[in-house]
Structure 1
Amino acid sequence: MASKLPAQFHRIWTASAVSSIGDGIYFAALPLLALTMTHNTVLLGTLEACAMLPWLCFGMLGGALVDRLDRRRTMVAADLCRFLLLALVTALVTAGAADLYLLFAAAFLLGIGQVFFDTASTALLPELLDRDLDTLQRANARLQGTQQAFGGFVGPPTGSLLFGLGRAVPILGDALSFLVSSLTIWTLPKSAPKPPQPRGSLLREAREGAAYLFGNRLLVGLALRPALGNFAFMGANAVLVLFVKQTLHLGSSAYGVYLTAGAVGALGGSFVAAWLAARIGTGGTLTLTAMVEGVALLGIGLSPNAWIAGIGEIALGMGIGTTMGVGPAVRQAIVPDHLMGRVAATGRLIALCAGPAGAVFGGWLAHVAGLRAPFIVGAGILMSMTVVAARLTSNKRIEAALAEAAERREREAADAPADGDHAADAPAVSNQAADVLAMA
């Protein structure tokens, strides 16, 4: 029988729901705001890239910091900083002092906040759920479903409607969502103090996390799989607003509604993710979704009207929702806690570093070959993920990694009494170290 998710998870779930509404509002409103400043596809692609660049610049160092700091406090600080940033952007847009370069800067700074929040959240979740794969998959699927339900259904249409009331209104809505999220995360119980560990440079610690990932073919596969996907998705998303308006001939309000099609599929995918993994295995599920995503993106690029494109978006969303429900849980289940932030950040870096390149490439490709080209080329890239998933993230490889992780935890549990006796000899030193880490 599946274990019940703890109360602490439901607070994270609530914060995710509120933040997802704001993200959906921002996702619909930002390109509409950018269109009032430029119709240049390369600049629109650059705007998409700015949100991903922080992972390339700070992702690994951010993971090393997360492994040093209290994860709950890190999440709270990241959301408060994003709230203050968007409050400032709201004021500048209201005053008529905003331009495209302000949007570039805001997207980049929001991306920095996302680096710390997402890495800390990824590291905190297995700590709460005892690294049980089935429980982690249910939790990730529930979070993914919530993000799609609120960020996909509620947020985008709301963002489009709020944009009609004023260009700054949806930005303010996203700012408030970060404030509520930070206050909700703050109510989580404080984490137990971490045992003192020798500290070196952040760069050396970041390299340790990277070395652990690259030494494990399964973790490499789990990172490469979304990397190929992000290149294709970001290439298509970079010109999506123009594709919807100029090729599918939809207005601004209909654009927000169109975005919910992907959310429909992703929500469905999040519901069937754990069920599908239980029947064909996590590896089999990742291979299947790779095929579905490629066919779906090709269908969108070739679609003659918005209805056909919408069906493609539903299928694409279902593949993504299922993947996000089962894939991250494997890494959370097998990576040691003291390396979780660094390994998660390295994996996310590999997955996302292709995003900025894909966004700029998609904008350039649309400029020289038309708005359908990024979708068609992206579909070919997604098809290649089937080979990656089948070889590196197979059921056999995942089962072997889970067994090895379980054996390691048993050895650590057997050694724990001796470590605890040693720590008891110097409680003041441990507490002092914990205080220093919390203040870092």
Structure 2
Amino acid sequence: MSSVRGSDRGLGRDYTKLWLGNATSNLGDGVMFVAAPLLASMLTENPLLVAGVSVAYTLPRIFTSMVTGVLVDRADRRMLMVSVNAARAVLTALLGCGVLFGFASLWFLYAVFVGLGVLETAADNSAFALLPSVVADEQLDRANARIVSAQLVADEFVGPPLGDSCLGWRRHCRSCSTRPRSPGPRSVSFCCEDAFASTPSAGRRGRQSGGTWLLACDGCAAIRC
């Protein structure tokens, strides 16, 4: 009876904060996944290099998932989650500055998106690992299901269309307004366009013993078995 009552209770304020933060973060990831090839297409006309930005955003997770899993298990999960998301915010701000002020190059995009992809893996793993300290044992199934649902919906279904809609809205605003010819404040979209136009283009001119790497290798060996 106690387990039934426990499962009927709300998941609590701490879980709500965790859920909202994780959902918002994954919404940004979905938008970023659409923005990555669009940014690259402004710097190069080579389709392989454009597609490579998306690959750089997703592929490193395969090789770093074991390492990030060990770090999540050995470190303070709350501090790790805060630190990882702060690092993601810094990288995103750096990317925005690079686009705005014109020092973003194709290899700069590759480096930023590799970092964002690896940090996203650590942030998502931290969210799942943090659940047992946030909700009761009998509520773990429901809490975990809601986290997974929020990640899938925000990252796969809402984020990419939202990013594409923002691009379409920017193009609509551009077509409905005249570009200012005198110096002065300009829209962010015009600033971004000028930044990329001035950038040279290739086509147009612990809790367990053992080291982190050792434990990550053990995880890979377990998967092979």
TM-score w.r.t. the length of structure 2 is: 0.68
Contact 2:27 2:154 in 1 (8 A): no
Within the alignment, does 1:161 sit opposite 2:169 as a pair?
yes
What residue number does 2:209 align with?
199
Where 1:45 maps in the other structure, the secondary structure is helix
Instruction: Give CA-to-partner distance per residue, 1:292-332, whole Å, 9 cap, x none.
Output: xxxxxxxxxxxxxxxxxxxxxxxxxxxxxxxxxxxxxxxxx
Distance 1:127 1:110, change over 3 A: same
Q: 1:9 to 1:212 in 2, by over 3 A?
A: farther
**Higher-helix-fraction structure:** 1
Aligned pairs, number = 189
CA 108–157 in structure 1, closer or farther in 2 if over 3 Å, else same: same
Letter in 2 for 1:166: S
Gaps in structure 2 of 5+ consecutive residues = 175-187, 193-205
Q: Which of 70, 78, 84 is the equivalent residue of 1:64?
A: 70
> Alignment partner for residue 52 of structure 1, among 58, 62, 75?
58
> For the aligned residues, what is the CA RMSD?
3.0
Q: Which residue of 2 aligns with 1:141?
A: 149
1:22 shift after superposition: 2.7
Counterpart AA for 1:68: R
Q: Evaluate the alpha carbon distance shift between residue 25 and residue 140 of structure 1 in structure 2; reply closer, same or farther with a 3 A threshold.
A: closer
Cα displacement (A) at 1:155: 4.0
5 Å-filtered alignment, 1:31-180, equals: 31-129=37-135, 130=137, 132-147=140-155, 150-162=158-170, 165-166=188-189
SS class of match (1:166): helix
State the one-letter code of the partner of 2:213: L
Q: Which residue of 17, 20, 23 corresponds with 2:23?
A: 17
Paired residues of 1:27 and 1:156 also in contact (CA < 8 A)? no
Listed as ranges, the matches of 1:258-277 within 5 Å are: none
Is the Cα–Cα contact under 8 Å of residues 61 and 206 in structure 1 kept in the other structure? Answer: yes
| Percent of aligned pairs with the same amino acid | 29
Give the Cα–Cα distance (whole angstroms) in 1 for the partners of residues 207 and 224 of structure 2: 23
Deviation at 1:198, TM superposition (A): 5.6
Task: State whether residues 64 and 202 of structure 1, in contact with CA within 8 Å, keep that contact through their aligned partners in structure 2.
Answer: yes
Cα distance per residue 1:14-67 (max 9 Å; x no partner): 113332443343233322222122232211221111112332443222211111
- TM-score scaled by length of structure 1: 0.38
**1:78 positional shift:** 0.9
The residue type paired with residue 96 of structure 2 is T
Alpha-carbon deviation of 1:76? Answer: 1.0
Unmatched segments (≥5 aa) in structure 1: 170-195, 216-440
- Measured in 2, the distance between the counterparts of 1:58 and 1:162 equals 36
Distance 1:78 1:167, change over 3 A: farther
Structure with the larger RCO, 1 or 2 (CA within 8 Å, 6+ apart): 2
Q: Does the CA contact (< 8 Å) of 1:25 and 1:151 recur in 2?
A: yes
CA distance in 2, matches of 1:117, 1:199: 23
Amino acid across the alignment from 1:114: E
